Structure 1
Amino acid sequence: MHFMADGMMARSAIERGTDWLAKGGLRPTRQRVALAALLVGDGRDRHVTAESLFAAAGQSNDKVSLATVYNTLRAFCEAGLMQEVVVDGARSYFDTRVDNHPHFYWEDTADLFDAPADQLEISRIPELPPGAELSRVDVVIRLKRT
C-alpha cells in the first residue's frame, strides 16, 4: 500500500479507488473510498478477508467497523468489482480480479493466490439440470506442505 509519513493514503491510491467505485456505479462515500484505495490503490489485484481488510484500514487511520467492511465487500461484489471465493463454509476471500481464474490455497497458512489459468484444463462438466444455466466454475486447488 502507498502511505504518506502520517499514515494517510497517497492521493493516487484514493483516485484509483474512486475511479474503481465509479466503474461499479457505487457512490464514493468516505468509507468506500478508503477501502477501495486499500484494495486497488496500488493497481495490483489482491485477495483479502474481511478481517484482513479491517486490519489494514485500522493501520491506515481509516476507522471503519468490521460490519461496515463486510457490508462494503458485499456491495463491491454485487457491483461486479470483486468476486467472493469461498474456501470452506467458514472462510471467504474477496478477489479484486473478476475474470474466471483458478486459485491456490495453502491450508497451513490460509493464503489464497491466483493459479495460472492457462495451465488449467476442464474438459467436461456434468450436464446441467433442466432450467439451469452455468454461472461460473470455481476452482480452488488446496495445497499442503510436504
Structure 2
Amino acid sequence: MLDTSHQNGKTTGPVPACWASRLRTQMRESGLRPTRQRMQLATLLFTRGDRHVTAEEIHAEAAAEKLSVSLATVYNTLHQFTEAGLLRVLAIESNKTYFDTNTSDHHHFFVEGRGQVLDIPGGSISVTNLPQAPEGMEIAHVDVVVRLRPKKA
C-alpha cells in the first residue's frame, strides 16, 4: 500500500493499494513507464485533490516525506506528466511555473504577493471575439488569469 493519506499536507497513514493501481494505469495509458520515482511524485501530486504547485513545492514535499529525488528529476517528471496530459502548465509569473492537476477547461485567479493560484469555476467566464488564427494554425486553448490583490483600506 502507498502511504498517501494526508491531513493538513502531512502523511497520516496508508491508503488502499487501489491508488497505486490507478496511478500506474493512468501513466501507462499516457505512454509513461510507472517508475518508482514517477510513482512517488504522482502520489504526492494526485492523491491530495486538485492542486496548483511549483516544482520547488513538490521537491520540498518529497523531502518532507523522506523521498530521495533531485529538483532536476522533479522538473523532468512534471514536464513528462504535462506532455502526457496528466498535468497542465500555468505560466503566470515570469520566474515561476505552476502545474495544475486539474486538466479540465477552467480559468484561474492569481493572488499577487502570495503566489496563490485558485480555480475559477467552469462556465463563469465567456471569451468572445477572439482574433482569427494565422494561416495553417488553430486556437488550441485560451487561458484566462484574473489577478487579485487585497483591497486597500
TM-score, length basis structure 1: 0.88
Q: Which residue in 1 is equivalent to 2:14?
A: 10
Identity of aligned residues (%): 40
Count of residues in Structure 1 that have an aligned counterpart in Structure 2 = 142
2:46 aligned residue = 40
Q: Confirm whether residue 28 of structure 1 aligns to residue 34 of structure 2.
A: yes
Q: Distance in 1 between matches of 2:114 and 2:86?
A: 26
More strand by share: 2
Structure possessing the higher relative contact order (Cα contacts under 8 Å, 6 or more residues apart): 1
Post-superposition shift, 1:23?
3.3
CA RMSD of aligned residues (A): 1.8
- Tell me the secondary structure at the aligned position of residue 134 of structure 1: coil
One-letter amino acid matched to 1:34: Q
Q: Is the 8 A contact 1:17 1:34 kept in 2?
A: no
> Alignment partner for residue 19 of structure 1, among 15, 25, 41?
25
In structure 2, do the counterparts of structure 1 residues 68 and 79 end up closer, same or farther at CA, with 3 Å as the change threshold? same
* Structure 2 stretches lacking a partner, 5+ long: none
User: Is the partner of 1:31 in helix, strand or coil?
Assistant: helix
The counterpart of 1:80, out of the listed 85, 93, 103, is 85
TM-score scaled by length of structure 2: 0.84
> What corresponds to 2:132 in structure 1?
127
Whole-angstrom distance in 2 between the partners of 1:96 and 1:40: 7
How far apart are 1:88 and its partner, in Å?
Answer: 2.2
The answer to which structure has the higher helix fraction is 1
CA gap 1:72/1:127 in 2 versus in 1, 3 angstroms? same
Displacement after TM superposition at 1:112 (Å): 0.6
Residue type of the partner of 1:48? V
Once residues 20 and 54 of structure 2 are traced to their aligned partners in structure 1, the CA distance between those partners, rounded to angstroms, is 21
Cα pair distance change 1:9/1:26, threshold 3 Å:
farther
